[in-house]
C-alpha cells in the first residue's frame, strides 16, 4: 500500500512541477510541451501563453488533488487494491476533465 500510494504522490508532485513553467508563461511555442491545438500553434504569442497558463493551472489542480487523494487513502484505506483503484480513478478523471476543458475552452474562441 505504501509503495503504490507513494507512486501516486510522486505523479501528483510531478504534475505540479511540470505545470509551473506553463503557469508562469515561461514555455515558448514548441512541438513537445504545452497545449498544442491549431489555435495556439497558429495564433499569436499571446494566445499561446494565455492558453498554456490556463491549462497549467488546471494541471496543477489535478496534481494537488492526486496528492491529496493518495494521502487520504494512505492513511484511511486498509486495502491496497481499493487504494490503487481509487487513486487511478481520481487521477484519470481529473486529468481527462482538464484536457477536455482546456481543449474546449480554446477551441471555441
Question: Contact at 8 Å (CB) between 83 and 77?
Answer: yes
For the cut 80, the answer to whether the pLDDT of residue 102 exceeds it is no
Strands (E), the chain: none
- How does pLDDT run across 34-49, given as a tens digit for each residue? 988 888 889 899 999 9
For the cut 80, the answer to whether the pLDDT of residue 100 exceeds it is yes
Residue 44 domain boundaries:
2-108
Average pLDDT over residues 82-93: 84
| pLDDT band (50, 70, 90) for residue 107 | low
The tally of domains found in the chain comes to: 1
Amino acid at each position: 500500500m505504501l509503495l503504490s500510494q507513494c507512486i501516486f504522490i510522486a505523479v501528483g508532485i510531478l504534475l505540479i512541477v511540470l505545470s509551473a513553467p506553463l503557469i508562469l508563461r515561461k514555455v515558448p511555442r514548441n512541438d513537445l510541451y504545452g497545449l498544442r491545438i491549431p489555435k495556439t500553434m497558429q495564433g499569436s504569442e499571446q494566445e499561446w501563453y494565455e492558453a498554456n497558463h490556463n491549462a497549467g493551472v488546471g494541471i496543477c489542480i489535478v496534481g494537488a488533488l492526486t496528492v491529496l487523494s493518495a494521502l487520504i487513502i494512505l492513511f484511511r484505506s486498509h486495502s491496497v487494491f481499493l487504494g490503487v483503484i481509487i487513486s487511478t480513478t481520481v487521477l484519470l478523471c481529473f486529468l481527462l476533465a482538464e484536457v477536455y476543458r482546456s481543449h474546449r475552452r480554446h477551441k471555441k474562441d
